[in-house]
Structure 1
Amino acid sequence: MILRRCDANYISDVERTNTFNPVETLYFTTGEATNDGKIITHGDSGGPVVSKTNGKIVGITMGINGTTSGRGMFLPITSFLNFIHDPKSVKSLPPSLSPNEAKFMADIAVPGKFLTLTKEAYATADEDVQIHSNAIILSETEILTCAHNVHGAPYVYVIVNKLSRNPTKIKVTEDQIEIHEKLSGFAFDVAKITLKERLEFTDNVGSIDLVDKDYKLNDPSEIVSVYGDMILDGTARTRRLDIKYLNSAICKSKLGDRFDANHLMCYTLDKSMGTPCSFGGPMVSKKNNKLVGMTIVGYPDEPVIFQPIAPLLDWIRKPRVGRNQRRRI
């Protein structure tokens, strides 16, 4: 092991994209043949990348690209200058959840279907394509999710304990899915799935307690946790975000007719903490850890719409409606 300096050339964005399909925050370089033909070798991570123009540090060595020898990956220093100068100015990232922390969450996989964020529009695709969304475990036999996640699908898969190495995958047919009868736009955009076999509750699989019927999310001091799949730096992980109530008038001014103030609520998520990539996940009160809402829909740079749970309690608790009595949307 000999300490070396290697002069390297920047690879253009076009070549980088076509060759490596890289993570957005990394760029690739190439240069002289050192270290047996490689720019960097094991142990070089964390080393400096210095400009030959002005002698200033411009990056940090990250690793070796596995697809082509002689190529290195480096993180631009501009990505974290604020952190270097003032570490307290950078917010800590929301945690990626462990299986135990997300024990009341499930996943919905819809084979052969592309979904938009409205209940009417969807298009079929190849059977190999699966749309994933979040869901909430209500009991050993009941799952709650968004109606637009499962509408029109002849069958879906419910996946529990999804964060573990041994998730359970259960096939659910159309007759097990009940859409809320008051579905109108995004209001009451909820569906209840009744399983034919009971879930086995463990340390990593369990149900969530429901909020009381008289509970109202209209307190500006209210803080809730939103659980779901969030995209951060191009990576989707199941995370928890703590958020505050947003006045309905503000939501209406930003969302227009998409927001029904009589039946929905909305919150502003800090996009630096992650962007929701799938919906149907739980909103949990920080006061009592009970389910108070469900994520319905959200667009970049806009408030995220949630369905309150309290108005749904009678519908959630009533016996499942037979297939021939289901409302067709």
Structure 2
Amino acid sequence: MSQAKFVAGIYAPTKYLYAFKDNLADADREMLSTCTAFILSKTEIITNAHCVAGAPYIYVVVGTKAALEKNLIKVEKEHIAYHPYYSHLIVGAFDIAKVTLKTPLEFSDTVGSIKLVDKDYKLNDPSEVVTAYGYGVLNNIEPMILRRCDANYISDVDRVGAFNPRQTLYFTTGEATNDGKIITPGDSGGPVVSKTNGKIVGIAVGINGATVDRGMFLPITSFLGFIHDPKSVKPLPPSLTPNEAKFLADISVPGKFLTATKEAFANTEEHVRIRSNAIILSETEILTCAHNVHGAPYVYIIVNKLSRNPTKIKVTEDQIEIHEKYSFPGFAFDVAKITLKERLEFNDNVGSIDLVDKDYKLNDPSEIVSVYGDMILDRTARTRRFDTKYLDGAICKSELGDRFDANLLMCYTLDESMGTPCAFGGPMVSKKNNKLVGMTIDRFPDEPVIFQPIAPLLDWIRKPRVGRNQRRRI
């Protein structure tokens, strides 16, 4: 233990944990799950969120080679903080928690702390060796004995899956003492220590399901703010209520037909669909991006999308009109109108939004607009609203180059704390008059979000629908 005096164990009543309660709802309330943790100071313990989230209390054990249920330190839930972006439905993401002890630990030859790497530390050398510690079970057979495993981290090029490197990294077995396994049950929350400087570089969270010989860990530099002060992390903005987003709809399209995605989804089934946003203009009119529907023989419109009883309406190609000047790929005139055969029934959760006048100019840099739509922040899409200011066309042009036509389009800055747009076609609403002034079109990483102003399109939006035989096909 003198070699690993900074390693602690975590016990929690399994039936209460968010990560397990659905499967173990009928379990004995005293049945405890075991995880690993590390000691940051005499009163601070760091572990995985999935090891503690939902538990009314947990136990901490220190200074022991075997994670035995003795000399336990009980900690009530008010002294447990887990990352506000954590979701038990998403493996690995923001899976970190901080436990604060009321009574300080007594440090000794077998109980002590370990330091964290600095915020500017870069784990970018594939030859660098790290050591993972944990109370893992081998071959599902107890007892849970503290072990360590030396490993190499995997570079960006070799990383499997589409994980955000700021949230999740991988390491792979080097010299393993875990019977050839790098992560086993009970190792969750264990420290990953640099062999170079002896400091914490990560927290083990599990294995990559695609390659069982690869462990996943959270890079500590991404979570220093939370570790030092959990309250400093702003909670996720709540999802909108059905009433707040009653003019927001969804478009669901088989990816294999959609022009924008058909190459990537060519071998998929029709039930594999792309989800986008749309806007309700009236009981029979839906507005969305052209690229959300272009090429599809049919689409589904989902209204009352945030309630428990959303309405899904199938729409065929003859009900979809795409702007005659739209061309894929492209941003200008990326607009489509869908005409429903049956009128929507408006209520508290389903309604329309008014359009701005034709002479409306969004040219005041101080004017605030609200952007609605599906956003990703914690790897799950949630319907949110955030306020922003539009950017001058010259700024957008300098950022986006020839892809951006300042005479036809505008853009706005993205507040990264609100998430990243994942479904385009959402409304942009003026805070001044509560009318629709624009529609989100597209965004590339680290660039402004492009939107289509509504005023220049009013004549096209309001004109009678063109018959199927007169439609211009792209």
The C-alpha deviation readout for 1:219-275, integer Å capped at 9, x for no partner, is 110111211222223322222222211111111122222211111111121335322
The alignment status of 1:180 with 2:323, answered yes or no, reads yes
Partner Cα distance (2:185, 2:202) in 1: 14
Give the corresponding residue for 1:169. 312
Distance apart, 1:283 and its partner CA: 0.8
Query: Which amino acid in the other structure matches residue 145 of structure 1?
Result: T
Give the corresponding residue for 1:287. 432
State the identity as a percent. Answer: 78
Higher CA-based Rg: 2
Residue 283 of structure 1 contacts residue 293 of structure 1 at CA under 8 Å; is this kept in 2? yes
Task: Compute the TM-score of the two structures, normalised by the length of structure 1.
Answer: 0.77
Partner Cα distance (1:122, 1:315) in 2: 31
Residue 147 of structure 1 contacts residue 191 of structure 1 at CA under 8 Å; is this kept in 2? yes
Residue 257 of structure 2 contacts residue 297 of structure 2 at CA under 8 Å; is this kept in 1? no
Give the corresponding residue for 2:82. none
Q: 1:231 to 1:10 in 2, by over 3 A?
A: farther
Task: List gaps (5 residues or longer) in structure 1.
Answer: none
Give the corresponding residue for 1:78. 221
Give the corresponding residue for 2:257. 113
Which shifted more, 215-224 or 154-163?
Answer: 154-163
Task: Compute the TM-score of the two structures, normalised by the length of structure 2.
Answer: 0.56
Alignment of 1:33-48 (within 5 A): none
Partner Cα distance (2:441, 2:224) in 1: 36
Partner Cα distance (1:305, 1:100) in 2: 27
The C-alpha deviation readout for 1:50-74, integer Å capped at 9, x for no partner, is 999999777779799999xxxx987
Residue 95 of structure 1 contacts residue 240 of structure 1 at CA under 8 Å; is this kept in 2? no
Partner Cα distance (1:270, 1:45) in 2: 32
Query: Which amino acid in the other structure matches residue 144 of structure 1?
Result: L
SS in 1 for 2:391: coil
The C-alpha deviation readout for 1:18-73, integer Å capped at 9, x for no partner, is 7x99887357999999xxxx9778xx999999999999777779799999xxxx98
Query: Which amino acid in the other structure matches residue 104 of structure 1?
Result: F
Alignment of 1:1-329 (within 5 A): 25=167, 77-85=220-228, 90=233, 92-111=235-254, 112-116=256-260, 125-126=266-267, 127-128=269-270, 129-183=272-326, 185-329=330-474
Which shifted more, 221-230 or 263-272?
Answer: 263-272
Residue 282 of structure 1 contacts residue 294 of structure 1 at CA under 8 Å; is this kept in 2? yes
Residue 258 of structure 2 contacts residue 293 of structure 2 at CA under 8 Å; is this kept in 1? no
The C-alpha deviation readout for 1:153-195, integer Å capped at 9, x for no partner, is 2111111222333222111111101112343642221110001
Q: 1:22 to 1:301 in 2, by over 3 A?
A: closer
Give RMSD over aligned pairs.
4.0
Query: Which amino acid in the other structure matches residue 368 of structure 2?
Result: I
**Higher relative contact order (CA closer than 8 Å, sequence separation 6+):** 1
Partner Cα distance (2:430, 2:347) in 1: 23
Residue 326 of structure 2 contacts residue 333 of structure 2 at CA under 8 Å; is this kept in 1? yes
SS in 2 for 1:183: coil
Partner Cα distance (1:150, 1:262) in 2: 25
Query: Which amino acid in the other structure matches residue 257 of structure 2?
Result: K
Q: 1:115 to 1:273 in 2, by over 3 A?
A: farther
Which shifted more, 93-102 or 183-192?
Answer: 93-102
User: Where is the helix percentage greater, Structure 1 or Structure 2?
Assistant: 1
SS in 2 for 1:171: strand
Partner Cα distance (2:196, 2:303) in 1: 55
Distance apart, 1:78 and its partner CA: 3.2
